[in-house]
Chain A
Amino acid sequence: MISYERFELKNGLRVLVHEDQSTPMAAVNLLYNVGARDESPEKTGFAHLFEHLMFGGSLNISDFDEQIQLAGGDSNAFTNNDMTNFYTTLPAANLETAFWLESDRMLQLKLTPKALETQRRVVIEEFKETCLNQPYGDVWHHLSDLAFRIHPYRWPAIGLIPQHVEEATLDDVREFFDTYYCPNNAILSIAGPVKSADIRRLAEKWFGDIPAGAIPLRQLPQEPPQQQLQQRIQRANVPVDALYLAFHTPARDHTDYYAVDLLSDILCNGNSSRLYRRLLKEQQLVNAIDAYITGNIDPGLLIIEAKTREGISLETAEAAIWKELERLQNQAISKRELAKYINKVESTLIFSETNVLNKAMNLAFFELLDDVDLINTEAEAYARVTTADIQRVAQQILTRENCSELYYLAGSGDGF
């Protein structure tokens, strides 16, 4: 059970506080409600590039990291399709330093040609390191492109192509900052040995005078239901053949989210899961296999991926996977099998409460979903899923019409 207090400043900044007196460290999380899904198709990778620029100094502070390190803290950030999230952990006694830093860069970021030029290069090197120079590194580019026709999930957060990042101008980034980096588009959460009243005072002091912005209404094109199997064969310079199946899933706030998450666990979470047992251990068709959901806010994907054993074709492995998917559709799973995965979820949730940063991040994320109480009610939502629910979502989701299939073949390809 995570207790929390929630309040809102006049400028629209939402604040969440969780008191945990058992630790000397405090976590400060600041989530901006802007992600790669808000980008224009001609300027992708922008939200992520901007995350890098946020560390380049602000109106009154020449170097963000220097000040955090001076306060004994550590800071980082991530960007995904849905949001941009900045986080800091530091000794609780120096908490106010994080307020000073975060509020100053929300008020007025220092955007210089030199900083933009450097971070453009850094992000292009990141693009190369994570996507271009890694075996299977461009799989996300292929899968998003195959599965989504019109929704902006059709490009990954790193960007569609490095050129988009190369072409970013100072005007572009200034406009992005003015549009999205406003208190009424942000959620601040604090966890640690703090008092709510002190956080209220600090939030008022440092963020209270930052003017609200006019946030554009998010109007994303919704992906129509997929009508037929999408297929792509990619040859690349990788040592082993790999297979990816992607199925469209309901949105994060859909009641079936929990059943679909459990469905992916039943398929391949842990060494006793179905695909691991049957394909890897018993039939020995694959040397690696996994299944998971992307967990996006808008309707996302359930992914199954496998690397086949030498001498086994992707077709053979895929046929064996479909056999398992059909079994889930045709026969209800046992109560015990479902209980196993509900136990696993319970355990994972309790373990995640041992860390202040986790708690701060989760509070902000659930507030973004407009239901911060989910932090305490999700375990029950998982526990309510029935074996009939699992069979039903398997029948709805794990179909060929709803599937995008990527064959990644070993050999020499043309690269990206």
Chain B
Amino acid sequence: MPNRKLPPPIHDIDRIQLPAIDTAQLDNGIPVYLISMGSQDVLKLEIIFHAGRPYEHQRLVGRATSRLLREGSAQYSSAEIAERVDFYGATLNIPINLDTSSIVLYTLSKHLEALLPLVADMLTQPLFPEEELENYVHRCIQSLQVELSKNEVVAYRTITELIFGEDHPYGYNSLPDTYAALRREDLVRHFENRYHSGNCQLLLSGGLRANSLDLLNRHLGQTIPRGVRTPAQISTRDTRPEQLWIDRPGTVQTAIRIGGRFHSKQHPDYHAFYILNTVLGGYFGSRLMTNIREDKGYTYNIFSTVDSFHHAGCFYIGTEVGNEFTRATIEEIYREIDRLRETLVPPEEMKMLRNYLLGSWLSTIDGAFNVASIVRTLVVEDLSFDDFDRSVARIRQISAEELRELARQYLRREDLWEVIVGESAPSGN
């Protein structure tokens, strides 16, 4: 019979290292990162363009341009693109974030060669048919209506607009009119000025074959035109923290967002602030989860997250709570923030935090696709590969005093925005 009072020993994770990444350059100058790992015959190809919001001449043109790439090119109709991708059992995604748009192809290694001509045609000769644009706009406006009926969506949109300002590329929100204003010429212009080698980076991960790089070069290195990196266009405006309560009668839960400004991932405080955010609301054992869910039961989920983009960043706490718990939850959130500013994280919690983060770092380098997503972040943010080692070192070395200092600097009540969306509290409460 085992002694159940005695926990098995916990072993320290002594080595967390990014595997060696091969780098190369295609004939047109596009940098390529090759992550060859794993025994399965599968590949992930990601073609990244720095063609997001900071590089738009018109709102939403970045998103619309990338979404329409799959809707017809010189050699393949929209239906043919879909048919070919599906026939090879591949998946073609076009994920966008605020800074970039990508083409991501998941395929069995054996089918890469058959699919590359199609990807190349989409990226060099897209047609942007008028009718496809019209339908796309129509679908977006309708799904926007659905999204706007969710309190948490309204809360997120509002707080990021307030933090960055409504003219900032990271701050503006899509509206039906913004979609309706999109013209085919805008997409063509955005495509011609942004989809070239200077704005492009390429990652191939998984079970690479000897000829993988040659294939990329033949189909993408000789077709995507040369160009130089486009500078960002950002109009910043000074914004000041405010509190906003958006009344939505008849909803059974209220969405809360409380957040503030932060920086890009290049900022020297980034890694330490990420750790502080983890303590506050970044994992199940966080202060917010432990207090507001596991002790009080006010919510199913509460989190805090750092959104660092290429040119700026923010962080915010988010939760949906029963209407009757709104006031109490807001109070507890500020109580937890103050506690981080006033007292030191105790040693046992520091240990749990450190081990948890090291374990989760270990899992981020487990497998080719996970490594690819780490490498993606580093190269898109213009960080060197040893930034990963620095993040590991930061986790190992950070002290409770440093965390408190950071909380005092960034988690000041007077610097935080607060957005509440839901049924307004009865007066006098």
Contacts and interface: CB of A to CB of B under 8 A. Distances in A.
Interface of A: 22-25, 59-60, 65-67, 69-75, 89-91, 93-94, 96-97, 99-100, 103-104, 107, 117-126, 128-130, 132-135, 205-206, 209, 237-240, 270-273, 276-277, 281, 284, 287-288, 307, 309-310, 336, 339-341, 343-348, 350-351, 353-356, 415
Given A69-B283, A120-B297, A281 B367 contact: no
B251 A133 contact: yes
Contacts, number: 215
Contacts of A341: 86
Contact of A271 (B8, B70, B150, B295): B70
Given A97-B10, A100-B8, A354 B362 contact: no
Contacts of B143: 287-288
Interface string B15-39: 0000000000000000000000111
Given A72-B358, A93-B11, A132-B252, A284 B38 contact: no
Contacts of B40: 350-351, 353-354
Interface in B329-369: 351-353, 355-356, 358-360, 362-363, 366-369
Nearest to A412: B250
B359 A91 contact: yes
- Interface of B: prevailing SS: mixed
Interface in B406-428: none
A347 B139 contact: no
Contacts of A73: 356, 359
A117 B297 contact: yes
B142 A272 contact: no
B148 to A, nearest CB: 8
Nearest to A137: B150
The 5 closest A-B pairs by CB, nearest first: A72-B359, A121-B297, A347-B89, A343-B89, A271-B82
Interface of B: 1-2, 4-5, 7-8, 10-11, 13, 37-42, 70, 78-79, 81-83, 85-91, 106-108, 135, 138-139, 142-143, 145-146, 148-151, 206, 250-253, 283-285, 293-301, 320-322, 351-353, 355-356, 358-360, 362-363, 366-369
10 contacts: A70-B351, A72-B359, A74-B363, A97-B8, A100-B8, A121-B297, A122-B297, A240-B142, A271-B82, A347-B107
A94 B11 contact: yes
A134 B285 CA distance: 27
A121 B10 CA distance: 34
Contact of A272 (B42, B83, B148): B83
B86 A270 contact: yes
Nearest to B365: A24
Contact of A91 (B11, B38, B251, B351): B11
A8 B321 CA distance: 45
Contacts of B139: 287-288
A66 B368 CA distance: 30
Given A59-B4, A350-B42, A287 B138 contact: yes
A135 B150 CA distance: 7
A121 B11 CA distance: 37
Nearest to B355: A72
